[in-house]
């Protein structure tokens, strides 16, 4: 199996990811968590788990997702707060309710909300 490497600042190390890893969602998509009451807009994607081992081990064993799947960085909002979330692909669904995400960081990263998704600011694209 072919792998590619990338550096994860969160994990503080280089991470190997299989080349076949496929993200189901894209930057700008509005998603919701399958099991927890929050939704958010995706602003970055890791092809496999790329956070710290300590963070991963805090997830209860019976709920702990596989490391070998895409993980998404979200500007998340819930009834209680706005925050940044890191969520496995298996725990996300497209948010079919629509509507913009109420997070103070959205305007810094995205230009507009249209047709259920955001467009990344042109100044932030490669």
More confident residue, 107 or 17: 107
Digit-coded pLDDT (tens) for 62-98: 999 999 899 999 999 999 999 999 999 999 999 988 7
Q: Is the dihedral of CA 122, 78, 35, 115 positive or negative?
A: negative
Q: Is the pLDDT at 45 greater than 90, yes or no?
A: yes
Task: Please count the other Cβ atoms lying within 10 Å of the Cβ belonging to residue 75.
Answer: 23
- Range of the structural domain that residue 54 is part of: 3-124
Number of domains in the chain: 1
For the full predicted model, state whether its pTM sits above 0.85: no
In angstroms, the first-to-last Cα distance of the chain is: 29
Q: Is the pLDDT at 30 greater than 90, yes or no?
A: yes
| Token pair for 65 | 């997702």
At 52, which CATH number?
2.30.30.390
């Amino acid at each position: 199996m072919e792998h590619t490497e990338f550096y994860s600042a969160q994990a503080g190390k280089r991470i190997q990811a299989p080349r076949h890893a496929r993200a189901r969602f894209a930057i700008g998509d509005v998603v919701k968590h399958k099991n927890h009451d929050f939704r958010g807009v995706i602003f970055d994607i890791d092809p496999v788990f790329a956070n710290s081992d300590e963070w991963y081990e805090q997830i209860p064993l019976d709920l702990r997702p596989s490391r070998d799947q895409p993980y998404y960085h979200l500007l998340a909002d819930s009834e209680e707060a706005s925050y940044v979330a890191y969520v496995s692909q298996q725990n996300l669904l497209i948010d079919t309710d629509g509507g913009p995400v109420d997070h103070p960081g959205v305007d810094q990263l995205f230009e507009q909300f249209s047709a259920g998704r955001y467009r990344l600011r042109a100044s932030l694209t490669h």
